[in-house]
A and B are shown apart, each in its own frame.
Chain A
Amino acid sequence: MNLAELINLEYQLLKDSDINPVVLRKRDRKIGQELAIQNLSRCELFLGWLKRVQTFDHHSPGHLLETGHRWFGFFLLILGLMMGGATAASVLSYDGSSPVNVVHFLAVIVGVQLIMIILFVLNLLPISIKKFIPASGDFYNFIRELSYLFSRLTAKIFSHLQTDQLAKLWFDLKQLKIRQKLYGSIEKWFVIGLTQRFSLAFNLGAMATCLYLISFSDLAFAWNTTLQISSESFHKIVSLIATPWSSLFPDVVPSLELVEASRYFRLNAEYLQSPTYTNLPQVVGGWWKFLILSLIFYGLLPRIIIFSFAKLKLKNILTKLPLKSADFESLYDRLTRPLVETQAIKQQDPISEVALTDSKLTLNFKNKNCTVIKWADLELTDNELAQILNFRFGWKIKDKLIAGSLDYDSSDVATYELIKGQKEQNPILILAESWEPPTAMIHFLKKLRETTSGNRQVIIGLINSDSPKKWQPPLLSDLNSWKKELAALADPYLRVESMVEEA
């Protein structure tokens, strides 16, 4: 996996977080089943998934980063080459009046780079040790600063492409930064890779300039320093510097004789040459091989090693990424686990709400008698019935019938017959338990109206017998439900009443 792919993966996961999880699970399981036959690793599985789901064009966040990286890297390369060349040119500047001071070259090309490499190596130490090293945190901040500069530069590079889509992508890329702690080591080695690219270019630039100047101009090398260093001591220093190649190229280790011969002083603004300086022709150009090898061993080679190491490390981290964050786990799950679905395929139609309308029927209390129909096996003794009726309406029971019972013929059918035969048009009171569904009574009411006059009062009296010992008023929701359902009959002489009033 490369960095662009990782970013695109994360970006896709970010986009997916807005999608309905049910849809997501179906989509990904389908892809997972397609990919399952290829026997892929976890990482390959994710990449295979990405190929199938990604909809973004070449302006993907991964592409943004890749292009930004390429341009930034190119910029660093040019900058490094130029700076390296300029630095080498300045430390090797020679106008014939005074020789090139070897100490300058060693201080700038070897000394500074050596310090940088030591700092870099220290930074690789574990945090537990590193925290005791002064200013170690500054390195981290330096990395962050470079990272910041990199993102600013990438934004600049793409600023001419400011379309809405690109602005959104850029915003999403910023969102992805939230997840950077998951990839802290990637960011570190990514930025280190960039810095080493610059350093490598710097050394290449310096090397090219050195070779050019040595080849195409006649440089004379010597050394001097304000510090009181004897030729012996300086010889020891240069021998130490030459240690890495002393066994390979013993001739390129400056001899004490050369060191002594190439020392020069400044007195009264005049450079005084060592007496032996002109007598030894090899002294004039004797240093150049040493300096070139110093540049190679302390500049170029370490940078090649660190640059390659950073590249390899980044590749290694990316290859071995566990991709175990919650989002990846969830994706893996969606891809590999059987999709268990239990929900309905077709959605139900929404219920249309019926407005509650009160019946216009006024109860006629002039009648002292009524016909009572006990609905659906209502358990009420004759005494209880008489009491409730008397208390609620002051009525007496003339006829007592049943309906909605198990035996349709002996209850409903018999009731129709009896009602049909009644001469007195007293109110019909149907007593029902409020928790039973009103819809079951609709057919009965229709038939009842067919058997009696259209203006005979029919009252549905509701009782809530939830509690076995106590008659309760019906729940308001039940009462309203009965009213709404029976309103569908559009019967002006039908009314729903509670048989027990609220205390």
Chain B
Amino acid sequence: MTLDVPKFTVIGRVNKGKSSIVSTLSEDDSVIIDRKPGSTKHCLEFPFRVDGKTLMILIDTPGFQQAPRALAWLIANEGSVSNRREVVEKFVQMFNFTEEFIDECRLLKPILDGSGILYVVDGAKPFRKNYEAEMEILRWTGQPRMALINKIGDDDYSQEWRPALDQYFSVVRSFNAHYVGFKDRIRLLEAFRELYEPWREIISVSIDHLKSEWERRQRVAANIIASLLIDELTYEQEITIGKTENPQDHKHKIEAQFHDYLRNRERKARKAIEHLYQHLKIETDESELAQPVFEQDLFAKSTWNVLGLTPKQLIALGAVAGATVGGIIDASVGGASFMMGTLLGGTAGAASVLYFSTKRFVSIDNIIEMLQGSKIVRIGPHKNPNFPWILLDRALLHYKNIHDLAHSRREKIFLQSQSKDQRLVTNLNSHQRKEFNRLFVSIRKKRMRDNVKLQIELEKMLREIISDL
């Protein structure tokens, strides 16, 4: 038995979700998962590598095709219980490179080379006695064995499967390849650790690396989102036009360019997060009728209705910000203003929110005459008070759906509904909302200055939030 690098061969009948499990565990969305039986023709290795050093290997196999017939051969050739492993080896030697038992030979080879066994069954389908043939063959190999009850469907026959599996496998776990998250994967690895004592240490190291990698991803994701927010909140666009040109002639062009930049910037951030979590093949189709919210255009009316803060929350935040400024004036005059500063400040803050809230799109708002006669036409940054909240909401919503999405899922990502309940920012506590608001205001004010400090603050807040998602 090879002890250096633990190997786990994923075995089971054809179409019972072996490739899904491998895809999820290896975070590899290029694994072919197909209803077509036998989509895995050969054993495929998925090494867990850290800086090029392999710590563990997962092996996807074609799956059993003729287990009862193979078992019959083994029984016919069995001398005694003690030589069962040799009989299996003999079986592989005999049928290897022949037209018989092609898949059985392929899947048994890595096991006989020392790999542990991950036997996969579909818990959504009933147990049938003939499955015992596969389990029995695996038992004959004498390798460490674990069974995973994967569910490909709504029904649940796990209780039927468990008593049978318990007889053949030292560990039996439910593992729904399409819906497990990071924590479930770690729990599974911890179970691997228990399978065979000599593998314990190296699997523990792998788990630590995986946890550290997860923490790194959260940090980078917070960084990407913070960067996106700062870029979008401070972005302004300029074009220089000649002396005789009319700025209004360039209005549509520059406005379109401005909004396109914001859209593309958001798309780029999303792609970065998808890649960070190894989702390299996620496809989106914006022409679909039932678009998920985050596939909708950033400036689509429905997006603005569904996401961001509620009007009440926005006005409240505007009023608080205005009242704070007014309060400072009151304090500076020793209360001689009879709190009029606070009152007027609050009203002005709320009123400004109401005014700017109506604007989803930005228009040219600055034309600078240059000394030589030409003009700089400037647009942006976006002033709508709800804009940062919508951006944040969309970013969090996207992150929530991506970060723990099982890699075995091939369908388009879809949010449950397009209701107002989707707003994640409305669920922030009032302290978090105020802090975010403060940061948004500061970022917008200091748009031409170095925003690194604000970015660090923003990242810190985002890390707290996304670690709870």
- A interface residue numbers (CB < 8 A to B): 17, 20-22, 29, 33, 141, 144-145, 148, 178, 181-185, 322, 324-327, 329-330, 333, 337-351, 376-377, 379, 404-409, 411-412, 433, 435-440, 442-443, 465-468, 477-478, 481, 484-485
Query: In the complex, what distance in Å separates the CA atom of A257 from the CA atom of B151?
Result: 108
Query: In the complex, what distance in Å separates the CA atom of A324 from the CA atom of B459?
Result: 11
Partner of A141, one of B227, B235, B368: B368
A-contact bits for B18-45, CB 8 A (1 contact / 0 none) = 0000000111101110111111110011
Partner of B41, one of A17, A183, A327, A349: A349
Query: In the complex, what distance in Å separates the CA atom of A324 from the CA atom of B460?
Result: 13
Partner of B46, one of A33, A343, A467: A343
A379: chain B residues within 8 A (beta carbon): 126, 128
| Nearest chain A residue, comparing its CB with the CB of B160 | A468
Query: In the complex, what distance in Å separates the CA atom of A343 from the CA atom of B123?
Result: 26
A29: chain B residues within 8 A (beta carbon): 51
Contact A326 to B28, CB < 8 A, known contacts A345-B45, A407-B68, A466-B155: no
A344 touches B452 (CB 8 A): no
Contact A406 to B47, CB < 8 A, known contacts A343-B278, A347-B30, A439-B38: no
B65 touches A443 (CB 8 A): yes
Q: How far is the CB of B447 from chain A (nearest CB, A)?
A: 6
Residue B133 CB within 8 A of the other chain: yes
A185 touches B450 (CB 8 A): yes
| Nearest chain B residue, comparing its CB with the CB of A477 | B35
Can you list the 10 inter-chain pairs with the closest CB atoms, starting with the nearest? A326-B227, A408-B72, A437-B14, A377-B128, A437-B37, A343-B28, A21-B275, A408-B68, A342-B26, A340-B213
Q: Which of B218-226, B290-298, B310-318, B332-340 contacts A (4 or more CB under 8 A)?
A: B218-226
Residue B449 CB within 8 A of the other chain: yes
B153: chain A residues within 8 A (beta carbon): 466
Residue B161 CB within 8 A of the other chain: no
Residue B199 CB within 8 A of the other chain: no
Query: In the complex, what distance in Å separates the CA atom of A320 from the CA atom of B193?
Result: 47
Query: In the complex, what distance in Å separates the CA atom of A32 from the CA atom of B456?
Result: 24
Query: In the complex, what distance in Å separates the CA atom of A199 from the CA atom of B467?
Result: 55
Query: In the complex, what distance in Å separates the CA atom of A29 from the CA atom of B234?
Result: 32
A346: chain B residues within 8 A (beta carbon): 44-45
B37: chain A residues within 8 A (beta carbon): 437-439, 481, 485
Q: How far is the CB of B116 from chain A (nearest CB, A)?
A: 17
Residue B9 CB within 8 A of the other chain: no
Q: How far is the CB of A123 from chain B (nearest CB, A)?
A: 13
A-contact bits for B451-465, CB 8 A (1 contact / 0 none) = 110011000000000
Query: In the complex, what distance in Å separates the CA atom of A199 from the CA atom of B213?
Result: 54
- B interface residue numbers (CB < 8 A to A): 13-15, 25-28, 30-32, 34-41, 44-52, 58, 63-66, 68-69, 71-72, 122, 124-126, 128-130, 132-133, 153, 155, 209-210, 212-213, 216, 219-220, 223-224, 226-228, 234-235, 240, 261, 268, 272, 275-276, 278, 280, 368, 370-371, 376, 447-452, 455-456
B50: chain A residues within 8 A (beta carbon): 338-341
Query: In the complex, what distance in Å separates the CA atom of A440 from the CA atom of B133?
Result: 13
A329 touches B223 (CB 8 A): yes
Q: Can you sample 16 A-B contacts with CB below 8 Å?
A: A182-B451, A184-B450, A326-B223, A327-B227, A330-B223, A330-B272, A333-B220, A338-B212, A340-B48, A342-B48, A344-B26, A376-B128, A407-B72, A408-B71, A408-B72, A411-B68
B449 touches A406 (CB 8 A): no
Query: In the complex, what distance in Å separates the CA atom of A178 from the CA atom of B452?
Result: 16
A440 touches B14 (CB 8 A): yes
Partner of A376, one of B130, B449, B455: B130
| Nearest chain B residue, comparing its CB with the CB of A337 | B216
A22 touches B449 (CB 8 A): no
B36 touches A481 (CB 8 A): yes
A325: chain B residues within 8 A (beta carbon): 227, 452, 455
Query: In the complex, what distance in Å separates the CA atom of A364 from the CA atom of B212?
Result: 66
A344: chain B residues within 8 A (beta carbon): 26, 28, 30-31, 44-46
Partner of B224, one of A17, A185, A326: A326
A436: chain B residues within 8 A (beta carbon): 13
Residue from A324, A406, A433 whose CB has the most chain B CB atoms within 10 Å: A406
A406 touches B130 (CB 8 A): yes
Query: In the complex, what distance in Å separates the CA atom of A478 from the CA atom of B14?
Result: 13
B36: chain A residues within 8 A (beta carbon): 351, 481, 484
Query: In the complex, what distance in Å separates the CA atom of A113 from the CA atom of B99?
Result: 96
Query: In the complex, what distance in Å separates the CA atom of A25 from the CA atom of B69?
Result: 48
B32 touches A351 (CB 8 A): yes
Query: In the complex, what distance in Å separates the CA atom of A45 from the CA atom of B223?
Result: 20
B447 touches A342 (CB 8 A): no
A343: chain B residues within 8 A (beta carbon): 26-28, 30, 46, 278
Q: Give 12 new A-B contacts, CB below 8 A, not counting A178-B235, A405-B129.
A: A21-B280, A144-B376, A145-B371, A324-B455, A330-B272, A337-B213, A338-B51, A340-B209, A348-B40, A379-B128, A437-B38, A481-B35
Query: In the complex, what distance in Å separates the CA atom of A376 from the CA atom of B134?
Result: 13
| Nearest chain A residue, comparing its CB with the CB of B70 | A408
Q: How far is the CB of B358 from chain A (nearest CB, A)?
A: 27
B452 touches A322 (CB 8 A): yes
Query: In the complex, what distance in Å separates the CA atom of A386 from the CA atom of B38?
Result: 33
Partner of A184, one of B27, B41, B449: B449
Q: How far is the CB of A9 from chain B (nearest CB, A)?
A: 16
| Nearest chain B residue, comparing its CB with the CB of A329 | B223
| Nearest chain A residue, comparing its CB with the CB of B26 | A342
B71: chain A residues within 8 A (beta carbon): 406, 408
Partner of A377, one of B25, B35, B129: B129
Query: In the complex, what distance in Å separates the CA atom of A477 from the CA atom of B36?
Result: 9
| Nearest chain A residue, comparing its CB with the CB of B132 | A406
| Nearest chain A residue, comparing its CB with the CB of B13 | A437
B456: chain A residues within 8 A (beta carbon): 324
Contact A443 to B69, CB < 8 A, known contacts A406-B130, A406-B132: yes
Query: In the complex, what distance in Å separates the CA atom of A216 from the CA atom of B283?
Result: 81
Query: In the complex, what distance in Å separates the CA atom of A435 from the CA atom of B268?
Result: 41
Q: How far is the CB of A416 from chain B (nearest CB, A)?
A: 12
| Nearest chain B residue, comparing its CB with the CB of A376 | B130
Q: How far is the CB of B392 from chain A (nearest CB, A)?
A: 15
Query: In the complex, what distance in Å separates the CA atom of A454 from the CA atom of B261?
Result: 69
Q: How far is the CB of B182 from chain A (nearest CB, A)?
A: 12
Query: In the complex, what distance in Å separates the CA atom of A467 from the CA atom of B48?
Result: 39
Query: In the complex, what distance in Å separates the CA atom of A478 from the CA atom of B46?
Result: 29
B44 touches A338 (CB 8 A): no
B126 touches A465 (CB 8 A): yes
Q: How far is the CB of A119 from chain B (nearest CB, A)?
A: 16
Query: In the complex, what distance in Å separates the CA atom of A353 from the CA atom of B370?
Result: 65
B25: chain A residues within 8 A (beta carbon): 342
Contact A184 to B130, CB < 8 A, known contacts A33-B51, A148-B370, A340-B50: no
A341 touches B451 (CB 8 A): no
| Nearest chain A residue, comparing its CB with the CB of B369 | A141
Contact A348 to B125, CB < 8 A, known contacts A21-B275, A326-B223, A443-B66: no
A22: chain B residues within 8 A (beta carbon): 275, 280
A341 touches B47 (CB 8 A): yes
Query: In the complex, what distance in Å separates the CA atom of A485 from the CA atom of B223?
Result: 50
Query: In the complex, what distance in Å separates the CA atom of A178 from the CA atom of B258?
Result: 12
A330 touches B68 (CB 8 A): no
Residue from A22, A345, A350, A485 whose CB has the most chain B CB atoms within 10 Å: A345
